[in-house]
Amino acid sequence: MRLKGKKALITGAAQGIGKAIALMMAKEGADIAISDINLELATQTADELKSIGVQTLAIEGNVADMESAEAMVSKTVEGLGGIDILVNNAGITRDTLILRMKEEDWDAVINVNLKGTFNCTKAAVKKMSKQRSGKIVNIASIVGLMGNAGQANYSASKAGVIGLTKTAAREFAARGLNINAVAPGFIATAMTDAIPEKAKNELTAQIPMGKLGSSEDVAEAVLFLSSPASDYITGQVLSVNGGMYM
């Protein structure tokens, strides 16, 4: 029970990687606030976690809006009794080549992925710095490190998340905060399930370990960076990519 008594807010946690993180943290004893733009789905996930025996809370929130981000943190503190961990997981994609990319697709991805991480971080550090403790884990991406054709907006947003992580870590280390990032590679999700088999095989061939990662692989890394095991680690990017980028 590495997170016994800790209070965690996870954005975009109603499904996918965010849900896997929430489930793993709950099994380690953390009380969980599930934040998502889809309140109905967030409520379902929160109800599932209650069977583990922890407190849960479903919050409707739009990370791209600062007022909404501040409300998410406030509701977590009110509903769970505090906030010790923030996982900035919420993110979207609008993939296409640069010459075809619409301005609104660029703006949407930057607003959710990068501005959203900034908004939630700013809201959380106000609370965490007063208590002189807290862990923030930002979900970046392999494409923020190496780029990827057709993902200029997503790559830029995740590279920005890495820069934000390192800067925030420097600003709040003296306040007892650990701020790190996890950069997943290609993970088996509903999105990758939709990729044609030939394309998926070509993708897998680029991974030295010869397979896609799982949501649980990412969740394990987030759990480590949220636990006391990482108390002397800050400003780092932990890559979970099967060796695709070294």
Task: Determine the Cα–Cα distance for residues 134 and 130; give it in Å rounded to an integer.
Answer: 10
- Say how far apart CA 193 and CA 123 lie, in whole Å: 35
Given 118, 154, 172, 186, which residue is catalytic? 154
Q: How far apart are CA 7 and CA 156, in angstroms?
A: 31
Q: What is the Cβ-side half-sphere exposure of residue 12, based on CA atoms within 13 angstroms?
A: 18
CA gap 104, 77 in Å, rounded: 34
**Whether 154 is catalytic:** yes
CB within 8 A of 188, min separation 6: which ones?
Answer: 212, 213, 214, 215
SS3 content of the chain, % helix, strand, coil (to 5): 50, 15, 30
* Inter-CA distances, 218 with 55, 88, 199, 231, Å: 23, 13, 23, 19
Active-site residues, by number, are 154
